[in-house]
Structure 1
Amino acid sequence: MSSTIFSRLALATLGLGTLAAATAFGPPGQKGVGINLANIDHSVNPCDDFYHYANGNWLKSNPVPASETRWGAFNELADRNIAVEKNILVKAAANARTTKPGSNEQKVGDFYAAAMDSAAIEAAGLKYLQPRLNQIAGLKNLGDIQKYMADPKSYGTGWYSFGVSQDSKNSTQYAVRMGQGGLGLGDRDYYLKDDGRSKAIRAAYKAYMTSVFQLLGDAPSLAATNADAVLALETKMAQASRGRVDLRDRIKNYNKVSVAQAVKDYPNLDLPLVLKESGLGSAQDLIIGQPEYLAAANTLMANTPIADQQQYFRWHLVEGVTSALPKAYGDASFRFQQVLTGAKQQQPRWKRALRATDGALGEAFGQLYVDQAFSPAAKAKAKEMVENLRRAYAERIMATDWMSPATKKEAIEKLNAFAVKIGYPDKWKDYSKLKITRESALQNLFATAEWRTEDNLKKFGKPIDRGEWGMTPPTVNAYYNSSMNEIVFPAGILQPPFYDPKADDAVNYGGIGAVIGHEMTHGFDDQGRRSDAKGNLRDWWTKEDNEKFTAKADMVGKQYDAFSPLDSVHVNGKLTMGENLADIGGLTIAYQAFQKTAEAKGGQKIDGFTPNQRFFLGFAQIWRGNQRPEALRQQIQTDPHSPGQYRTNGPLMNMPEFYEAFGCKDGNKMVRATQDRSRIW
């Protein structure tokens, strides 16, 4: 399980992608760097709505750009990173023909150049896709379907998820995992709910599929029939799928069975063939995430007409690579995205190509990025902050009045065992077997997909690679990985406004300090706490401590359930539980660490604000952002993170230190009654 500071809504191809949340920061070298005073709306009482007090003027003057679905600090920082990345890619593309063949520079340059060559993509048409379409057209029976799905080189097979990852109960070994998957809409509720928005999304999805089938040569009536068949099949899959709240439960989603038992339980999946073709024939066990879904898939695969399954495969083959096909395919995809997210304008091709390059060749590209954008000094300073927060966390754990000594001992052991990764990997991925050319953007996508699959499958039976990263260096995000018991901060997020060596400590601790604390707290949130210091899924809590933690967490869930960003739309406190706990804990730990600095002890004001006030302003500024209503509704339904205004106000409403900093009194909207406050650490 990996928990992040926010969810990226980016497609893995050249498709549309957005990040989340925003801020401005002062000119380098000037007094008050890190906080732009012009962003503060003094007409708002900070004790009634701190988010709009800290960010109100910025929100009014920064509408969402036409090519985005949300706009905020993450986007602004990502755009600054992208400016550096674009220069790298343009240069690499220009030099790729003269660069050493097979080098990272050649691959990065040719991948980007091919993605940018819209004329070549138009001229190629379906040339590079047709062999795969022909293969699907040749499927005649269940045996053919099984062989197609078992081939690791098949693209867009859907039906279920399959791959290799750490065994959650034995973190020293890799395991083969299977579970639900295969839904084009991503979330089961879009298929099952009958509200107006869900119906509109299904209609747009069907229209998207119909358009694609027509582009592939189907007559209009046949295209519509084929779209209906895919939607009907995916709806049956959705009915058997677990919802997002249930998917968060790590215990319920860990079901280890022998291969022999799985073969007996799901005979129509032909697991022996799947394992053999994947090079996993020696596997003795499988970890099944959702057994009831695989049981349904087993039945559906045998009972769904072959012709309908062919349409399902055609659709998922094409849908995943529309960006590397002629413009009409990308336009059809964007029309659907407009309904789903409210996007007004497609992002420029260079930006989509850049994100695709990062997604396909992240560490090859990342090596070029960190050479320009991340210094050893910045890495050392970030490491120092992490250790400051680790010490503060230990103090908070030991000071808790509700946790027993036995549980505290295990918690401290886990905290001390956190592995810390900052900036970029110590050992980069080896792309030597991946062939990238300028000939075809589509072929490059297929090649990287095959390379990524092989890279994953070959882990089985080998020692755990503890140096591996789950994000690329330019990424504006961070994460905690429970099986590795590690916290990871890519170079991309270690930039202003999150971290600025020119800013005062208050701003840095309120920014990157809160991010660091957030990821640390994921190790102790409602799901992360279920793993021990070694990353194993093990209950190390006493019964009494378990009950006390659950009661405190349930209070947080109810708090966030009450937040409503739009009429009739409420935050889902259970879906967002882990992230909300991480936000509250992270800010608490960052504040405690900040109190140890000379600046906090000195109490000197900057621009009229005390150090503690600047700490909270620094925290609020990283979450400011505007968002289209459609994208906000999508976030509420699918994203485990709460909207930015509640990521700001929610934690602060539980912090007496905030009340004191801004002179808030009982009766102010930001002040919860003592019995209604919940803070675990």
Structure 2
Amino acid sequence: MNKLLFAGIGVASVACFIACNQGQSNTNKQANTTPDAVAANVDTTANPKDDFFDYANGGWIKRNPIPSEYSSWGIGNLVQEELYKRLRIINEKAAENPSDPISKKIAAFWKSGMDSVRLNAAGIEPITGTLKEIDAVSNVQQLAQLASQLNVTAGGTCDISIGQDAKNSDAIMVQLGQGGLGLPNRDYYFNTDDRTTKIRQAYPGHVAKMLAFTGMDTATAQKAAASIVQLETLLAKSSRKLEALRDPEANYHKMPVAQLNKIAGNIDWAGFIKQQGISKFADTVIVGQPEFYTALSGAIKSQPLDTWKNYLKWIVIANAASQLSDTIANTQFAFYGKLLRGQDQQKPRWKRVLDAEEGAMGEALGQLFVKEFFNATAKKRYENLVEEIRAALKNRIEHLEWMSDSTKQKALYKLSKISKKVGYPDKWKDFSAMDIKDQSYYQNVVAAKHWWQNYEINKLGKPVDRSEWDMTPQTYNAYYNPSNNEIVLPAGIFTVPGKRDEELDDAVVYGYAGASTIGHEITHGFDDEGRQFDAAGNLKNWWTKEDIKKFNDRADVMVRQFNSYVVVDSLHINGKATLGENIADLGGILLGWEAFKKTEQYQKNEKIAGYTPAERYFMGYALGWLSHTKKESLARQVLTDVHSPAKFRVNGPFSDVDAFYEVYGLQPGNGMYRADSARVRIW
């Protein structure tokens, strides 16, 4: 899962992966001489029965070290590099000749972000007005009012969003979740392993360095930083763990604002919400973690006003750092990039500006992108593949031995109602009111945040727009949305870098796209979270008690399997936190395989580049996770991500797939062998 780049009002999106190299007609000669899409990556010194990931991808990994500005490197990066180049051309053309309203905004954003001379000369100046407002706060009421305002532009003590009511998908609600932490999540404040301890010990020093940019002397900044970390630790104690956040029922508490005032009485919640710009349709809210708000309310009373003021300064400069001078941005990167992720240096400025622009108005870029880089033939191929995968899951549900007929019928109905969005939206967002113009980079980013704030607020009291996309066509991602019961597959998601779509044989496509993307996302509708939503997208139980127990018993087998995998140092995968993604990976592989067996290529069984169609299917799936990652980033992923690291997204589910055993002849003693009784059997 990914979060939107901007704080304040937002929506959540579920992540997988994407690619893009469609619709080009001038690469035939090059394509005919490029290596085979999967055979070129093989490490022949590795045994596929012991470690299929290393076998299928190890040759490429050995030849392609991780660049210094990245913490990992793989197929996603290769695709993203193509995206960067194409989007840069779009921006540079817009800057040279901004001929329409969209290109004018793109040009203004691009120029403001690329003007490093202006940024370095301004230094801290873009946020000095906000810092003065914080200094002027003299009581708790003023503090709460300003904190609410800053929640839009800088994030803050809590996560306020606008989204569909999980139990009434036709309604849009104000929703409140835990937040307020400067470290990635609550475990960083308490875990005692060496790597996390080192990060936690370095954190106060980093906060002090950033506060020094606001005008504090060293001693004052260090004292302020210590109090900020103490405050965040207090909030972290009442924050839920990663796996606990995945229970939709346990994270749903609908209540009137008056009840929220009882839970967290030191905050005027009606006033706080109003300061967000929400003036109506907010008499009732959905609170994810009430205990966090009780702790927040207590901290407002127990912690000194100066601590809170310094905390606000910290979140303001932390969130603005990338739009300020190189000195400030580099200081922020030294902690969050180098120490937390293992990056040796920052991406070049032009890539960072494109990343920010994607979050600000990526769909505006997408309108220009799809005109050049996505064709109707490819769109049709993958729309058809979605239906083949749907048919495969229908067949598997019908033949499940452990599920009762009554639950099966509801599952089949939900499956039939899953909608698909492929490529790009039918209706584009209108960015005309976004105030992007010739002003500072910081001001342009803030203008985009305010636009998104208003965009989300305007949904309140209106019918849900189920045609809306939460990702842009050029995004390297995909998702299943349980509230809409839909899978969303952006335009670039299906292409292998350096290959046109028509050059890819079905075996690779069914593994790479059919299994790891389409099948994966459809299975999310029936994983441990998705299965709790009905066909209309409502959090509502449609299972018998007996079937729930049987599902959970089978899911527990997968939890135990992934708990046993050691990723780095002594850190194990969190099987409970990653369960939904692991179920989706396994389901995707099974569905892709079932669909692939009906193809002409599978039935002819002719080798390509020395490999059978069946082998190429599994190699195609592994291609989707072609990557390697630095230890620092792996450690962070284990603590903060609901996705298992790439190697285990291949070796883990393959160890549960009977067809994989048949194709590669696994026997007891092989590294990936699991006894039949220990294999996961869900969908």
Fold shared, TM-score > 0.5 on shorter chain:
yes
In structure 1, how many angstroms separate the alpha carbons of the residues matched to 2:203 and 2:432?
39
Deviates more, 1:650-659 or 1:601-610: 601-610
Match of 1:276 among 274, 277, 285: 274
* One-letter amino acid of the structure 2 residue matched with residue 41 of structure 1: D
1:333 maps onto 2:332 in alignment: yes
Kindly indicate whether the alpha-carbon contact (under 8 Å) linking 2:519 and 2:591 is maintained by their aligned counterparts in 1.
yes
In structure 2, how many angstroms separate the alpha carbons of the residues matched to 1:216 and 1:276?
29
Q: Which residue of 2 aligns with 1:139?
A: 137
In structure 1, how many angstroms separate the alpha carbons of the residues matched to 2:479 and 2:500?
16
In structure 2, how many angstroms separate the alpha carbons of the residues matched to 1:74 and 1:357?
19
* One-letter amino acid of the structure 1 residue matched with residue 437 of structure 2: T
Q: Which residue of 2 aligns with 1:447?
A: 447
Kindly indicate whether the alpha-carbon contact (under 8 Å) linking 1:28 and 1:502 is maintained by their aligned counterparts in 2.
no
Cα deviation 1:654-680 (Å, max 9, x = unaligned):
111111112223332222111011131
1:150 deviation in Å? 3.5
Q: Which residue of 2 aligns with 1:506?
A: 507
SS in 2 for 1:77: helix
Q: Which residue of 1 aligns with 2:242?
A: 244
1:651 deviation in Å? 1.1
In structure 1, how many angstroms separate the alpha carbons of the residues matched to 2:67 and 2:299?
44
Q: Which residue of 2 aligns with 1:169?
A: 167
Q: Which residue of 1 aligns with 2:12?
A: none
Q: How does 1:549-560 map to 2 (within 5 A)?
A: 549-560=551-562
Q: How does 1:508-587 map to 2 (within 5 A)?
A: 508-514=509-515, 515-587=517-589
SS in 2 for 1:422: strand
Q: How does 1:115-514 map to 2 (within 5 A)?
A: 115-151=113-149, 155-277=153-275, 278-336=277-335, 337-496=337-496, 500-514=501-515
Q: Cα distance 1:32–1:117, how it changes in 2: closer, same or farther (>3 A)?
A: closer
Identity of aligned residues (%): 40
Kindly indicate whether the alpha-carbon contact (under 8 Å) linking 1:413 and 1:533 is maintained by their aligned counterparts in 2.
yes
Q: Cα distance 1:612–1:223, how it changes in 2: closer, same or farther (>3 A)?
A: same
1:414 deviation in Å? 0.8
**How many residue pairs are counted as aligned between the two chains?**
667
1:318 deviation in Å? 1.1
Q: Which residue of 1 aligns with 2:91?
A: 89
Cα deviation 1:579-631 (Å, max 9, x = unaligned):
00000001100110111111111111112211111101111122121111100
Q: Which residue of 1 aligns with 2:11?
A: none
* One-letter amino acid of the structure 2 residue matched with residue 505 of structure 1: D
Deviates more, 1:667-676 or 1:406-415: 667-676
Kindly indicate whether the alpha-carbon contact (under 8 Å) linking 1:21 and 1:70 is maintained by their aligned counterparts in 2.
no
Q: Which residue of 1 aligns with 2:24?
A: none
Give TM-score scaled by structure 1 length.
0.94
1:504 deviation in Å? 0.6
Kindly indicate whether the alpha-carbon contact (under 8 Å) linking 1:604 and 1:611 is maintained by their aligned counterparts in 2.
yes
Q: Cα distance 1:208–1:95, how it changes in 2: closer, same or farther (>3 A)?
A: farther
Gaps of 5+ in 2: 9-14, 22-27
Cα deviation 1:339-371 (Å, max 9, x = unaligned):
111111111011101111111111111111111
Cα deviation 1:384-432 (Å, max 9, x = unaligned):
1111111111111111111111111111111111111111111111112
* One-letter amino acid of the structure 1 residue matched with residue 262 of structure 2: K
Q: Cα distance 1:287–1:624, how it changes in 2: closer, same or farther (>3 A)?
A: same
Q: Cα distance 1:562–1:417, how it changes in 2: closer, same or farther (>3 A)?
A: same
In structure 1, how many angstroms separate the alpha carbons of the residues matched to 2:151 and 2:523?
39
In structure 2, how many angstroms separate the alpha carbons of the residues matched to 1:441 and 1:219?
27
Q: Which residue of 2 aligns with 1:58?
A: 60
SS in 2 for 1:47: coil
In structure 2, how many angstroms separate the alpha carbons of the residues matched to 1:443 and 1:106?
16
Kindly indicate whether the alpha-carbon contact (under 8 Å) linking 2:19 and 2:80 is maintained by their aligned counterparts in 1.
no
CA RMSD of aligned residues (A): 2.3
* One-letter amino acid of the structure 1 residue matched with residue 417 of structure 2: A
Give TM-score scaled by structure 2 length.
0.94
Match of 2:679 among 672, 677, 680: 677
SS in 2 for 1:361: helix
Q: Cα distance 1:422–1:24, how it changes in 2: closer, same or farther (>3 A)?
A: closer
SS in 2 for 1:176: strand
Deviates more, 1:245-254 or 1:211-220: 211-220
In structure 1, how many angstroms separate the alpha carbons of the residues matched to 2:279 and 2:4?
32
In structure 2, how many angstroms separate the alpha carbons of the residues matched to 1:9 and 1:257?
26
In structure 2, how many angstroms separate the alpha carbons of the residues matched to 1:495 and 1:95?
31
Kindly indicate whether the alpha-carbon contact (under 8 Å) linking 2:480 and 2:525 is maintained by their aligned counterparts in 1.
yes
In structure 1, how many angstroms separate the alpha carbons of the residues matched to 2:224 and 2:589?
51
* One-letter amino acid of the structure 2 residue matched with residue 446 of structure 1: V
Q: Which residue of 1 aligns with 2:610?
A: 608
Cα deviation 1:192-248 (Å, max 9, x = unaligned):
223322222123322221111111111110111111121111111101111111111
In structure 2, how many angstroms separate the alpha carbons of the residues matched to 1:214 and 1:79?
36
In structure 2, how many angstroms separate the alpha carbons of the residues matched to 1:10 and 1:499?
31
1:153 deviation in Å? 7.4
1:10 deviation in Å? 7.2
* One-letter amino acid of the structure 1 residue matched with residue 513 of structure 2: I
In structure 1, how many angstroms separate the alpha carbons of the residues matched to 2:18 and 2:51?
18
SS in 2 for 1:524: coil
In structure 2, how many angstroms separate the alpha carbons of the residues matched to 1:153 and 1:198?
28
In structure 1, how many angstroms separate the alpha carbons of the residues matched to 2:562 and 2:313?
41
Kindly indicate whether the alpha-carbon contact (under 8 Å) linking 1:499 and 1:512 is maintained by their aligned counterparts in 2.
no
Kindly indicate whether the alpha-carbon contact (under 8 Å) linking 2:508 and 2:620 is maintained by their aligned counterparts in 1.
yes
Cα deviation 1:125-157 (Å, max 9, x = unaligned):
333211111111111101101221333775325
